[in-house]
Amino acid sequence: MGTSKSYKWELLALLSFAFFFHQADRALFSVVLIPIQKELGLSDGQMGEIGSWMFATLAVMVPLAGFLGDRLSRKWIITCSLLFWSCATSITGMATGLLGLILFRSVATGGGESFYAPSAYALLASHHKTTRSVALSVHQAALYIGLMCSGYLAGMVEAAWGWRTVFYLFGGAGILLGLVFIFRLKDAPADERAGAASSPGRADARPSPLSAPNAQRAGPSGKGPSVWDSVRVLVKTPSALLATAGFCAVVFVNNAYVFWAPTFVLEKFKDSPTPMTLTQAAGGAMLYHHLAAFAAIMAGGFVTDWAVSRYPRFRLLLQGGALLLGAPMIYWIGVADGITATWVAMAGYGIFRGLFEVNTHASLFDVVPAKFRSTAVGLMTMTAFFLGTVPPKMIGRFCDLHGKVAGIQQGFTVLACAYVLGAAAIFCSMLFTFNRDRVVE
């Protein structure tokens, strides 16, 4: 299928809109957590279970999404994913208890969302070569905009019409966008599809984990690499494994933050002289953090594309430094005394999160050949979200034992330690494995 030179920017716009709803939808539950909890009579531990079930579903399904993304039409995987999770979001508004929330919110919505990222990132990388960091940064910025807007929009809708209407409206908007995708989304350029049977060489001409004849081996009917080859190219590439470890640290923290931060702010400052409403607490927790992350990722995308052409390991230097400097910001969120200090800590965490996420997938794609990238994203996301099932439940248990504020404070201390471990993994890649594993396009 032929595409114009300008289509790559239309594709970026379309996928950015989809990612907006993808992330806004994921944050809705945390914004209306307290009204749901009160109406349905659920404990903090049970609310944490809902988040953990969602992340577990994502972890289980995303490898399948990655495998299919390297074999089937990415256009239709993305489109069907958007329509399915949007329908599931709408149905979540009909839930009447814990089981309904787990089935509709965690399993159905999470399952639908899991099919988006592997194909979307791989499709963007296919259309954007020299502008890859910029494209992935803009796409990632849509995540932040979705999370920023969801806090205020969901809070206002809940205040006016109740929490169920929040799910109806966001789900309906996603369905409308899915209908647009049917007519406007296109698959990878023809030249990449024609060359899918061969892998690019490594920077140092060292045989890759899929060197000939394995590099030429395809799946059924020659339409794609075998499942075994797809897995092997990731697990036999040390830099890809270390990139996955860094991403695991980011997801571990992000999952906990999005799920518990609005509740933490509301509960911590409820006895202040001017207590906040749910809209103010949820909106602020999402706005200041993600606005800072948005600024960081937009600036970082242009800087990275310029710097990587001169120093290929710059991505890793930026990512490792961002995790190391972000750790004290995360700890500060938990111990900050006043609301202003809390907002500043959340913004600081956002800056360093954004600087890491400029290159989350670009770093992986630097060491994984094009025909395996959807699978690589799926496996990386699976690993991260399996670990990401822990923090929502962990903090929920802390809350049951010590109260909401003290429990979430303890959780942020654990989250800060995760960032330090992630930084160590990224620096190991930069110093020891990247030059050997790098793919030249």
pLDDT, one tens digit per residue, over 161-216 is: 999 999 999 999 999 999 999 999 998 775 555 555 444 444 443 444 444 333 33
Average pLDDT on 387-406 reads: 91
Provide the pLDDT confidence category of residue 388 given band limits of 50, 70 and 90. Answer: confident
Nearest to 246 by CA among 410, 120, 357: 357
Provide the pLDDT confidence category of residue 1 given band limits of 50, 70 and 90. Answer: very low
Both tokens of residue 441? 């396009």
The SS3 call for residue 226 is: coil
Q: Check if the beta carbon of residue 118 is closer than 8 Å to that of residue 66.
A: yes
Q: What is the pLDDT of residue 402?
A: 92
Average pLDDT on 151-155 reads: 84
Q: Check if the beta carbon of residue 362 is closer than 8 Å to that of residue 133.
A: yes
Nearest to 430 by CA among 202, 204, 243: 243
Q: What is the pLDDT of residue 441?
A: 66
Identify whether 213 is preceded by a cis peptide bond (ω within 30 of 0).
yes
The SS3 call for residue 439 is: strand
Question: Kindly report the CA angle at 207 between 205 and 210, in degrees rounded to 5?
Answer: 135
pLDDT at position 146 over 50: yes
Q: Give phi and psi for 374, each to the nearest 5.
A: -60, -45
pLDDT at position 159 over 70: yes
d(CA 243, CA 376): 11
Q: Check if the beta carbon of residue 54 is closer than 8 Å to that of residue 138.
A: no
pLDDT at position 86 over 60: yes
Q: What does the H/E/C string look like for 79-120?
A: HHHHHHHHHHHHHHCCCCCHHHHHHHHHHHHHHHHHCHHHHH
| CB contact set of 146 (below 8 Å; sequence gap of 6+) | 19, 20, 21, 22, 23, 24, 25, 27
Indicate whether this model's pTM tops 0.85.
Answer: no
Average pLDDT on 312-323 reads: 96
Q: Check if the beta carbon of residue 316 is closer than 8 Å to that of residue 362.
A: no
Provide the pLDDT confidence category of residue 224 given band limits of 50, 70 and 90. Answer: low
pLDDT, one tens digit per residue, over 29-77 is: 888 988 999 999 998 889 888 988 988 898 899 889 888 988 889 999 9
Average pLDDT on 133-153 reads: 83
Task: Give the CATH number of domain 9-188+225-437.
Answer: 1.20.1250.20
* Other C-beta atoms lying within 10 Å of the C-beta of residue 195: 13
Question: Kindly report the CA angle at 92 between 409 and 24, in degrees rounded to 5?
Answer: 55
Q: What is the pLDDT of residue 209?
A: 40
Provide the pLDDT confidence category of residue 428 given band limits of 50, 70 and 90. Answer: very high
